[in-house]
Amino acid sequence: MRQAMQPRVASLPAMRRQRGVAAIEFALVFLFGMLPLLLLTFSGVLIFAAKQSLTLAAAEGARAALRYGTAEQRRGYACAAAQRSMQWLLDFSGETAGCDAPATPGTSYAPVAVSTAASCPSVPAAQCLTVVASYDYDAHPLLPGTGAAYGWLLGSAIASSATVQLDPQTD
Q: What DSSP letter does each residue of 82-120 carry, written as one string? A: HHHHTHHHHHHHT----TTS-S-TTSPP-SEEEPPPEE-
pLDDT band, residue 120 (cuts 50/70/90):
confident
60-107 pLDDT per residue, tens: 999 999 888 888 899 999 999 999 999 999 998 888 777 765 544 444
Amino acid at 85: S
pTM of the model: 0.73
Report pLDDT for 77.
Answer: 92
Count Cα neighbours of 44 within 13 Å in the Cβ-side half-sphere.
7
Q: Tell me which residue of 151, 136, 50, 53 sits closest to 95, measured CA to CA.
A: 136
Q: Tell me which residue of 141, 160, 159, 157 sits closest to 44, measured CA to CA.
A: 141
Q: Tell me which residue of 86, 87, 79, 48 sits closest to 63, measured CA to CA.
A: 79
Helix (H/G/I), strand (E/B), else coil: 149: helix
**Average pLDDT of the segment spanning 157-164:** 90
CB of 131 within 8 A of CB of 154? Answer: no
Domain boundaries, given as residue ranges, for the chain: 20-166
- Percentage of the chain modeled with pLDDT above 90: 25
Report pLDDT for 126.
Answer: 86
